[in-house]
Chain A
């Protein structure tokens, strides 16, 4: 079956770094997405990885290892506004997104 696993909740301190892990099992693979969703709002696109390695985009970076079925989202210099849920989604061979349940990130001052 297809499955996306990510931690339910994480807590970090403002200004620090946090890494949110995601493991995936999909029927075929056409990439791994990360989205940010603030409470009461729709998700917004953060990153897309289809090749192994690290993609850096400002304070956010995303990593993919296809052989391990593993990805992580790295957030640096955390700000209070980064408090949100982070959704990991794998794209299968039919280009359908398989969604994780999301990781709620709590930032403390």
Chain B
């Protein structure tokens, strides 16, 4: 149980384009999902917390107009990187927390974004 999927796993795009990443909880309902970014050899950095049906809460320094988060259902959250630039190249990982009272976050496999 507690499986989280992410799609796509790899994205290569040109500078200026927008990229959408999907995060799905496959066998549980996730009232809360989290989006992280991780640069090589660095620790996880929380970007935003997403609650189903409400606006995401962004961490300090994360531009909400650049990283659009939508959590329209209990099993799906999306992150859209708008007008991507090379400095946005990173490993983006989502996690989902079971809404049934368990507090464990389960991670998706991550999405590698390379902006040329």
Contacts and interface: CB of A to CB of B under 8 A. Distances in A.
Contact of B107 (A44, A96, A102): A44
A91 B103 contact: yes
A45 B106 contact: yes
Given A99-B43, A101-B43, A42 B110 contact: yes
Contacts of A31: 103
Given A100-B43, A101-B43, A48 B103 contact: yes
B47 interface: no
Interface residues of B, number: 17
B44 A43 contact: yes
B84 interface: no
A33 B104 contact: yes
B103 A41 contact: no
Interface string A41-55: 111110010000000
Chain A contact residues (Cβ within 8 angstroms of B): what range?
Answer: 10 to 19
B49 A96 contact: yes
Interface of A: 30-31, 33, 35, 41-45, 48, 87, 91, 95-97, 99-102
Interface of B: 2, 34, 42-44, 46, 49, 93, 97, 103-110
Given A43-B107, A45-B2, A97-B46, 13 more contacts: A31-B103, A42-B93, A43-B44, A44-B107, A45-B107, A48-B103, A48-B104, A87-B43, A87-B44, A95-B97, A96-B46, A97-B105, A100-B43
The 8 closest A-B pairs by CB, nearest first: A42-B110, A101-B43, A42-B107, A42-B93, A43-B107, A99-B44, A42-B109, A102-B43
